[in-house]
């Protein structure tokens, strides 16, 4: 192979020239044999924490026009510049969604369950892909033992119901943070929120999803082992009971941050920016700094519900903010 010389190169060039006369025919045949797929590949990615096998399940990613006050405490121009710096489509923002499946050895645990498929709110396949990606990963929804919610926002909880309104994971116990349950199920709080369209929608959604299944719901507190190897971590601000998790086995640990930040391109780079969805933005900001100072000091692996799939990486301090270093695809476990 090493004796490639000028004469070989010339011969090769002549052969290519001859072939190119036939190339329209060849390319037509190639197109006929391999039509474009026009569909994305399944989104699931496995990683291990000690003996615990985890699977990042992609629920999709929504791309929508950046709302005027999506970041409440900076100008829209500053937010648009962050989107452009992240190569998002012009004027738009992309938000991915990634529930985590944790196989503790004895239990199949799903941490958050995505947007669900609502007949009333078609997403054109952008979101609500958790069930199809679980199926692609070989997981029967009937085999899920526990669904744990990080908080009660629609993109995390609505997947608990299938398209026809039945339970998507019929054998699962549902666990929610006690503080979130108390807050969102209160009629008094709902009444107070009627003047705020977003909050009004959130309260109505919690009612729609949880009415009739209250008895299936167990509430948990912070700093508790909520399932084997999974500990709840206080991360309030985004919602009153917003919860992160540590998954630990042997000497290994992964931090599941839930929504400590929304998308990293905005809120990890700029941890003092407030996303419109935060209930208590000042507290969310404090939680963010505390959480990432800990994660970066520990060099911990961090999983973010709104990180780009597979949503696993490390967080480092970077100037006044932080940056995400995503994992490289690992073909072996």
Site for Zn ion in 304-323 (CB under 5 A): none
Give residues with Cβ within 8 angstroms of 264, minimum separation 6.
304, 306, 307, 308, 323, 324
Q: What is the DSSP string of 76-123?
A: HHHHHHHHHHTTPSTTEEEEEE--EEEE-SS-EEEE---S---SSS--
> Which residue, 67 or 106, has its beta carbon nearer to Zn ion?
67
**Closest CB 277 distance from Zn ion, rounded Å:** 7
> Which residue, 52 or 292, has its beta carbon nearer to Zn ion?
292
**How many CA within 13 A on the CB side of residue 25?**
4
> Which residue, 100 or 249, has its beta carbon nearer to Zn ion?
100
Name the residue among 207, 190, 208 with its Cα closest to residue 199.
190
**Closest CB 284 distance from Zn ion, rounded Å:** 12
> Which residue, 52 or 82, has its beta carbon nearer to Zn ion?
82
**Closest CB 65 distance from Zn ion, rounded Å:** 19
Residue nearest to Zn ion (CB): 259
**Closest CB 97 distance from Zn ion, rounded Å:** 7
Type and span of the H or E element at 70: none
> Which residue, 52 or 202, has its beta carbon nearer to Zn ion?
202
Site for Zn ion in 36-55 (CB under 5 A): none
Instruction: Say whether residue 278 binds Zn ion (CB under 5 A).
Output: no
Instruction: Say whether residue 59 binds Zn ion (CB under 5 A).
Output: no
216 three-state secondary structure: helix
Residue 221 CB neighbour total at 10 angstroms? 13
Asked whether the CA dihedral 189, 194, 200, 206 is positive or negative, the reply is positive
> Which residue, 128 or 229, has its beta carbon nearer to Zn ion?
128
Name the residue among 61, 57, 71 with its Cα closest to residue 138.
57
**How many CA within 13 A on the CB side of residue 286?**
7
Is-contact 255 301, C-beta < 8 A?
yes
Q: Which stretch binds Zn ion (CB under 5 A): 18-26, 198-206, 255-263, 293-301?
A: 255-263
Largest CA distance in the chain: 86
Site for Zn ion in 104-163 (CB under 5 A): 155
**Closest CB 258 distance from Zn ion, rounded Å:** 7
Asked whether the CA dihedral 253, 256, 262, 263 is positive or negative, the reply is positive
Residue 143 DSSP one-character state? G
> Which residue, 59 or 155, has its beta carbon nearer to Zn ion?
155
**How many CA within 13 A on the CB side of residue 239?**
26
Binding residues for Zn ion, total number by CB under 5 A: 2
Q: Which stretch binds Zn ion (CB under 5 A): 23-31, 80-88, 247-255, 258-266?
A: 258-266
**Closest CB 74 distance from Zn ion, rounded Å:** 20
> Which residue, 259 or 278, has its beta carbon nearer to Zn ion?
259
**Closest CB 156 distance from Zn ion, rounded Å:** 6
**Closest CB 96 distance from Zn ion, rounded Å:** 10
Instruction: Say whether residue 259 binds Zn ion (CB under 5 A).
Output: yes
Instruction: Show the binding pattern over residues 215-254: x = contacts Zn ion (CB under 5 A), - = does not.
Output: ----------------------------------------
**Closest CB 30 distance from Zn ion, rounded Å:** 43
> Which residue, 196 or 252, has its beta carbon nearer to Zn ion?
196
Residues 299, 218: Cα–Cα separation, whole Å: 33
Binding site for Zn ion (CB under 5 A): 155, 259
């Amino acid at each position: 192979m090493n004796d490639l010389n000028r004469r070989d190169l010339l011969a090769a060039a002549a052969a290519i020239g001859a072939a190119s006369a036939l190339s329209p025919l060849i390319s037509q045949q190639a197109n006929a044999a391999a039509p474009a797929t026009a569909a994305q590949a399944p989104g699931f990615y496995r990683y291990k924490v000690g003996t615990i096998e985890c699977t990042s399940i992609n629920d999709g990613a929504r791309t929508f026009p950046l709302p005027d006050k999506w970041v409440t405490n900076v100008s829209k121009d500053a937010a648009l510049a962050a989107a452009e710096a992240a190569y998002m489509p012009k004027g738009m923002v992309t938000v991915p969604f990634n529930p985590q499946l944790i196989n503790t050895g004895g239990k199949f645990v799903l941490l958050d369950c995505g947007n669900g498929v609502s007949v009333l709110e078609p997403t054109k396949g952008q979101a609500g892909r958790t069930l199809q990606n679980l199926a692609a990963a070989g997981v029967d929804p009937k085999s899920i033992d526990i669904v744990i919610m990080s908080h009660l926002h629609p993109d995390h909880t609505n997947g608990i119901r299938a398209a026809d309104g039945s339970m998507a994971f019929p054998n699962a116990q549902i666990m929610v943070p006690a503080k979130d349950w108390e807050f969102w199920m209160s009629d008094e709080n709902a009444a107070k929120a009627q003047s705020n369209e977003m909050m009004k929608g959130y309260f109505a959604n919690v009612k729609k999803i949880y009415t009739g299944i209250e008895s299936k719901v167990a509430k948990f507190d912070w700093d508790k082992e909520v399932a084997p190897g999974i500990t709840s971590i206080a991360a309030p601000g985004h919602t009153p009971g917003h919860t992160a998790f540590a998954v630990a086995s042997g000497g290994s640990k992964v931090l599941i941050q839930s929504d400590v930040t929304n998308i990293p391109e905005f809120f990890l780079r700029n941890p003092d920016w407030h996303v419109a969805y935060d209930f208590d933005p000042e507290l969310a900001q404090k939680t963010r700094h505390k959480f990432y100072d800990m994660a970066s000091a520990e060099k911990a692996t961090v999983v973010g519900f709104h990180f780009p799939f597979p949503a696993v990486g490390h967080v480092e301090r970077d100037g006044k903010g932080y940056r995400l270093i995503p994992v490289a695809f690992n073909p072996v476990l």
